Amino acid sequence: MAKNRIVNVKSNIVSILSNFRKVTEKEVLQTEYLRMESMVSLGELATSMAHEINNSVTGIVNCSQLLVNKSVKGSKENDIANRITKEGNRIAHLVNNLLSLSRPGDRKEEKYGINMYEMLSDTLILIHAQLKKEGIILNLTIPAGLPEILINPHQIQQVFLNILSNARYALNQKYPEAHENKILEILAEEIMIDDCPFVKVIFYDHGTGIPAHIINKVTSPFFTTKPKGKGTGLGLSISNEIIIEHGGKLKIDSAEGEFTKIIIILPVLR
């Protein structure tokens, strides 16, 4: 009799576990379905907005080009007009990259060799004023003799800007005002992986860090720790995809409350 009760209990436990597994699997499938729906909706939204944005950007670029042609080369006006043109073209590329979320196989933009120092300089000039305003100390260690990397500069600039935006946010959360430890370091070096040359760039901020239990999730689409309105959860996801498409790797090292290192490894032009 007791033996039968034990068998029944075991049978009930197995049944409960089986039902729990089915419910869990169903919840996972529903979550994935909702995520896919979100991705589709994002693609549709990006497509509908892209034409309007690109039309406006085209007008801005055309007007700025007129100013370039009419101003004296080397003058302040000429320099400002050139910057407007450059940033207008960058916006157009960002829109195209957003569109590629719904067409991940369509990213076939031209790649060519460029110096890492030049790439970082062109990126940092866009946020230099913000870093200064927020009291962030920038330390650069970029050797002049690094080999050229094979990249699409607009896409890699987008990656760098996403990483820098996250670093600024983490530093400002930890140090709302200027502080001697409110530091962002950027280091680069040439490395060898399986006898092939690569350039490694490290973005090292002394900010809030990332909790260990979520560090493997931060490159997942729509995952964010920022409050509503501060982030979409797409920055690192898109960045990771871009780096992979360049034949590189994006790695993350962090200690909560201490630091975050985003490590980018890109192949050298050969």
Instruction: Read off the pLDDT of residues 50-89 as tens digits, 9 standing for 90 and up.
Output: 778 888 888 898 999 999 999 998 899 999 999 999 888 8
- Residue among 249, 262, 253 nearest 193 (CA): 249
Of the candidate CATH numbers 3.30.1330.60, 3.40.640.10, 3.30.565.10, 3.30.70.890, the domain formed by 112-267 belongs to 3.30.565.10
Are residues 132 and 182 in contact, defined by beta-carbon separation less than 8 angstroms? no
**Considering the entire predicted model, what is its pTM?**
0.63
Is residue 171 scored above 90 in pLDDT? yes
Task: Examine the pLDDT at 262 and tell me if it is beyond 90.
Answer: yes
What angle (nearest 5°) sits at the alpha carbon of residue 104, between those of residues 100 and 110?
A: 70
Of 191, 193, 190, 202, residue with least CA distance to 146: 190
Task: Name the more confident of 163 and 16.
Answer: 163
Q: How much is the pLDDT for 110?
A: 79
Instruction: Determine the Cα–Cα distance for residues 258 and 118; give it in Å rounded to an integer.
Output: 30
Distances (CA, A) of 199 to 58, 84, 166, 192, 233: 35, 30, 22, 9, 27
Selection from 17-31, 52-66, 187-201 with the highest mean pLDDT: 187-201
Tokens encoding 24: 């869990």
Residue 115's φ and ψ, nearest 5 degrees, are -75, 135
Q: Looking at the predicted structure, is the pLDDT value of residue 191 above 90?
A: yes
Q: Is the pLDDT of residue 22 over 90?
A: no
- pLDDT (0 to 100) of residue 43: 64
Angle at which helix 76-99 crosses helix 153-174, to 10 degrees, equals: 90
Please determine, for residue 134, whether its predicted confidence score (pLDDT) is greater than 80. yes
Helical H runs in the chain? 2-70, 76-99, 116-133, 153-174, 235-245
pLDDT bin (cut points 50, 70, 90) of residue 137 is very high
For the chain, what is the mean pLDDT?
82
Per-domain residue ranges of the chain: 10-106, 112-267
Q: How far is CA 177 from CA 80, 129, 153, 209, 255, in A?
A: 31, 16, 33, 18, 22
Least confident of 52-61, 157-166, 169-178: 52-61
